[in-house]
Structure 1
Amino acid sequence: MCGLFGIFGVEEAANYTYFGLYSLQHRGQESAGIAVYDGETIREWKALGLVSEVFNEEILKALKGKVAIGHVRYSTTGSSIVQNAQPFCVSFAKKKIAIAHNGNLVNAYQIRCSLEEEGHIFQTTMDSEVIIHLVVRNLKKGLVEAIAETMKKIKGAYSVLLLYDDTLVAFRDPWGFRPLCLGIINGGYVIASETCAFDLIGAQYLREVAPGEILVITQEGPKSYFPFKKEKFPKSHCVFEFIYFARPDSHIFGKTVYPVRKQLGKNLYKECPLEADFVMPFPDSGTYAAIGYSQASGIPLEFGMIRNHYIGRTFIQPSQRLRDLSVKMKLNPVKELIKNREIIIVDDSLVRGTTSKNRFRGIKELGPKKVHFLLSCPPIRFPCFFGIDFPSRSELIAAKHSVEEIRKFLDIDTLYYLSIEGLVDALGDLRNKLCLACFTGEYPIEVDFSFKKDIAEA
């Protein structure tokens, strides 16, 4: 996962990009960057850290221009080092081009090896650099044709922004794995991974960048190109965007996230009706499904775990050691609320199991009567190759253990996963347009299970 933001034709484009990235911080906390075309060249600033840590007023003042792209990173290919921060900018023939990419390519290693044999030199270990090499290689055919040729070679999930002189380009894989939205603001145009970025800056949502679309924005306005036949690529929107990643106030893939998450909780009650003193979420990821379960069941909703909002999302910390540490810092139970009570705890998913194990250990020490744990998605049994950082089955607790074994491992009274049918029911007319590979093992694209995170070492 990563967050993308681009803006065209607006004064102080870097400042708007800063606020847009701030809204998308949940999509990546490892690094942040902005690239701006100042009328003559592309200037950039990026570093490891959160948006608020990477930028200040002085830096933003130096990034003058009306066209900009920005990126917040959560690494799925390439290690978490400053060289892999984006936007990634390259110079060639006295020109510059910058790229920001959300997603994951399944054939990046093969393409990289082929390009290196031809003499291409890579500066990073990201799959995103493969995209920029292919685009530059074909630029003599024109920008749109260069991107079309690139899209025909790469496979996987990609929502991409390119900045080339004063031209802003957005393009998206034909399966539509990752969201990308188009809006307007002050006579200009804005593109973002999620519509919550539009809300903050006062932009008006127009539509999604369509799967397989190349959207080119110049002084003449936006123009769309479609290099693929749409019927060849069944839509495969990432269902995990609705379960966990996207902000609940965002509108993606034609739906607002909040009511979908609440419906997941209601469907949980249909499948697993329980009685208890109260329902509580593991905040913030389980909050909206817990609301749905509470409303459907009539059982009161309480917040038995209080979140420290100055701590990042534990799931996207790059190492298990950091995840374990941040678990203790992130949530603290309300002791008097839990003691001698029967409680239903709702969360969005269970990936490795170690975070939940630590949380339940702390809860059990407070003396509840019973603890029931309900999850608003099915068991995650297969790795994701399209932008979520669990590429190995060995990391997935449900790939190795039955539900009953996991319940015993967590030391709780009940463990229930929402069924796949209950999940897709909450998505309504999207039910046949979703990627469910992490639950079913049925991938929309052929994948290589020997995939490694760092393609330079694959």
Structure 2
Amino acid sequence: MEELKHECGVAMIRLLKPLEYYQKKYGTWMYALNKLYLLMEKQHNRGQEGAGLACVKLQANPGEEYMFRERALGSGAITEIFGNIQNYFKEAPSDRLSDVNFAKCCLPFAGEVYMGHLRYSTTGKSGITYVHPFLRRNNWRAKNLALCGNFNMTNVDEIFTKITTIGQHPRKYSDTYIMLEQVGHRLDREVERLYRECEDEGLQGMEITHQIEEKIDLSNVLKTSTKEWDGGYVVCGITGSGEAFAVRDPWGIRPAFWYMDDEIAVLASERPVIQTAFNVPAESIKELKPGEAAIWNKAGKMRLTQINTPKNIKPCSFERIYFSRGSDIDIYKERKRLGEKLVDPILKTINYDIEHTVFSFIPNTAEVAFYGLLEGFDNYLNEQKVKRIEELGHKPNHDELEKILSMRIRSEKVAIKDIKLRTFIAEGNSRNDLAAHVYDITYGSLKPYEDNLVVIDDSIVRGTTLKQSIIGILDRLHPKKIIIVSSSPQVRYPDYYGIDMARMNEFIAFRAAIELLKEREMRDVIERAYNKAKEQVNVEKEKMVNYVKDIYAPFTDEEISEKMVELLTPKGTKAKVEIVYQHIEGLHEACPNHKGDWYFTGDYPTPGGVKLVNQAFIDYIEQVYQF
């Protein structure tokens, strides 16, 4: 319902055969380029603010370009960058375009190593200079570096201070540029170390270059450059000499999957995109483990290396609930289970009146959870049918059986996402009036003033769309009661690992808790939490405590949900409105292997997350209150 921006998607391809092989087998040396396009398009959901790709030619003579990059802004960036690349090829005579030797010699992006990126900004920084991949140039092939990633760092300030004190000067104050400088600096040191070794062995000239490119060890580079990173990340890189890598954070927050056969190696942020692009089964695709790196050397040989020791493993559950494509076999099952887990609380809310309840969902991401919800209610209804038949106490006649067996779960597509409204109208009232029409309704889909309407969504974070559009438009159907159901728990805390929710006042749950504290004359709870957060500002982040939890501690989930309803129900709404949330236990049962729940519980996997949530709370209080 509420579009959340997510920090990016990545795709990498490493050809393991000469270009001639793909020309002969697949009819084009552009095989990898075409597959990269598929991988990026299939991950379009992960980034629509920009896209970019980088390519390395393994065989290029001195004076010839060997590392290429193309970037673009906007939701059509993928089409634009691949269109620009094709424009380079249009200049070539048609009969030469299928000539592999000509392509390798004369055409840009005719390489063997590719890396693509899709960007969603969660920092507010925009423009082409912030679109990945980032490049670090050097006259030595092995020192050239292109970097991209799906990440967000929580300790940029600390790293920036550290690297500038040793004389480095990043071009921009952003996590990507700082990471580029860190990895690039260690890459330089590794090349220089090998150079000295080669000289000691008596090698000269190009012998040294070849030896460096054959012996360079990126695991050394990654171990020394990533050890202080605090955040969720999958960072990918390629060097000018053809080395390639992808490294995952030691908490396993952000995901990455890889596949390799005798022709190709590929890595992406999501498993089903590899399945689709290469028509391979799920079991042949492996997940990069927490703290692990996949590294390909210049010859294409791969090795998996543990770069950082796995820590408090907390894979992001929002990946399963919302961000990743539901076509993944495991995610599909998990989202259905999330729906099933909501049967009991919904039954209580509708007073077990199945006969007068219509079930629906908010398109489009809640659809799978909706199917799970229906299955759960079908199972419940079957149990009720058996009980009623047993309660008859005699051999039932046809009419009695028909009455019981005709009981059905009523489901309708009540809400339809009609258009994506543009925000060119700045005046408040007109803008809100337009927002009310983002969704349309199916008139006649329920009995006015008799039926309850249960509508499931995957998450309720800010509540803006509920207040401006959903509740008001559903009320036009004249239901007796509107029950908004979230397949995820209450989002109470900011995320600092790549999801666009970082300020306390954005969360309807937080606003509800603050209102309850004020109403019940408990402002002292706010003041104490603020003072405790303030007192630990200069404490080491590893020793910090999340004192924002104190704001929620006095209340049950149900009390906070009730206050949300008050805050979000538009004036003039005739139906009674209730909100039902998934419980944390239900989330963990549905997604047992993805326990990252800090946005729900406040249990951050890294010290940097704890530090930032306290600072966000301090900032909020100092803007709103005077203590």
Alpha-carbon separation, structure 2, partners of 1:228 and 1:160: 13
1:288 is matched with which residue?
Answer: 368
1:42 is matched with which residue?
Answer: 67
Are the counterparts in 1 of residues 219 and 307 from structure 2 also a CA contact under 8 Å?
A: no
Alpha-carbon separation, structure 1, partners of 2:440 and 2:173: 38
Alpha-carbon separation, structure 1, partners of 2:447 and 2:134: 52
Alpha-carbon separation, structure 1, partners of 2:46 and 2:433: 20
TM-score by length of 1: 0.88
1:222 is matched with which residue?
Answer: 302
Superposition pairs of residues 275-314 of structure 1, within 5 angstroms:
275=354, 276-298=356-378, 299-308=409-418, 311=420
Alpha-carbon separation, structure 2, partners of 1:56 and 1:93: 27
Alpha-carbon separation, structure 1, partners of 2:588 and 2:227: 30
State the structure with more CA Rg. 2
2:95 is matched with which residue?
Answer: none
Q: Percent identity?
A: 27
2:577 is matched with which residue?
Answer: 413
Alpha-carbon separation, structure 2, partners of 1:69 and 1:436: 30
Which residue among 389, 392, 405 is the counterpart of 2:500?
A: 389
Are the counterparts in 2 of residues 290 and 301 from structure 1 also a CA contact under 8 Å?
A: no
Structure that is richer in helix per residue: 2
Alpha-carbon separation, structure 1, partners of 2:581 and 2:492: 12
415-424 or 126-135, which moves further after superposition?
Answer: 126-135
Are the counterparts in 2 of residues 192 and 198 from structure 1 also a CA contact under 8 Å?
A: yes
Change (3 A) 1:284 1:168: same
Change (3 A) 1:345 1:195: same
5+ long unaligned stretches in structure 2? 1-6, 17-28, 61-65, 90-107, 191-216, 379-408, 513-559, 570-575, 618-627
Change (3 A) 1:14 1:210: same
Which residue among 95, 111, 129 is the counterpart of 1:65?
A: 111
CA deviations 1:95-142 (Å, max 9, x no partner) are 421111112111112212333344433344531222111111112234
Superposition pairs of residues 335-354 of structure 1, within 5 angstroms:
335-337=443-445, 340=448, 341-354=451-464
Aligned residues between the structures? 435
Are the counterparts in 2 of residues 108 and 127 from structure 1 also a CA contact under 8 Å?
A: yes
1:237 is matched with which residue?
Answer: 315
CA deviations 1:137-188 (Å, max 9, x no partner) are 1122342211111121211111111111312201101110011001136711
Change (3 A) 1:198 1:311: farther
Paired letter, 2:149: H
5+ long unaligned stretches in structure 1? 315-319, 453-458
Are the counterparts in 1 of residues 136 and 184 from structure 2 also a CA contact under 8 Å?
A: no
Superposition pairs of residues 173-252 of structure 1, within 5 angstroms:
173-184=249-260, 187-204=263-280, 205-218=284-297, 219-230=299-310, 233-250=311-328
CA deviations 1:391-426 (Å, max 9, x no partner) are 111111101212111112332522111100011011
TM-score by length of 2: 0.65
Are the counterparts in 1 of residues 504 and 616 from structure 2 also a CA contact under 8 Å?
A: no
Alpha-carbon separation, structure 2, partners of 1:272 and 1:366: 20
398-407 or 3-12, which moves further after superposition?
Answer: 3-12
Are the counterparts in 1 of residues 9 and 268 from structure 2 also a CA contact under 8 Å?
A: yes
Q: Residue 324 of structure 1: CA displacement?
A: 7.1
Alpha-carbon separation, structure 1, partners of 2:433 and 2:308: 46
Are the counterparts in 2 of residues 324 and 354 from structure 1 also a CA contact under 8 Å?
A: no
1:5 is matched with which residue?
Answer: 11
Alpha-carbon separation, structure 2, partners of 1:120 and 1:328: 51
Are the counterparts in 1 of residues 345 and 580 from structure 2 also a CA contact under 8 Å?
A: no
Alpha-carbon separation, structure 1, partners of 2:294 and 2:413: 44
1:317 is matched with which residue?
Answer: none
438-447 or 44-53, which moves further after superposition?
Answer: 44-53
Which residue among 574, 591, 596 is the counterpart of 1:435?
A: 596
Deviating 4+ runs (over 6 angstroms): 323-326
Alpha-carbon separation, structure 2, partners of 1:20 and 1:179: 15
Cα root mean square deviation, aligned: 2.6
1:370 is matched with which residue?
Answer: 481
Are the counterparts in 2 of residues 78 and 84 from structure 1 also a CA contact under 8 Å?
A: no
Q: Residue 58 of structure 1: CA displacement?
A: 4.5
Matched, 1:32 2:44: no
Alpha-carbon separation, structure 1, partners of 2:342 and 2:44: 29
Are the counterparts in 2 of residues 324 and 355 from structure 1 also a CA contact under 8 Å?
A: no
1:156 is matched with which residue?
Answer: 231
Alpha-carbon separation, structure 2, partners of 1:338 and 1:26: 33
2:607 is matched with which residue?
Answer: 446
Alpha-carbon separation, structure 2, partners of 1:271 and 1:24: 35
Structure that is richer in strand per residue: 1
Are the counterparts in 2 of residues 78 and 126 from structure 1 also a CA contact under 8 Å?
A: no
Paired letter, 1:334: T
Alpha-carbon separation, structure 1, partners of 2:72 and 2:447: 45
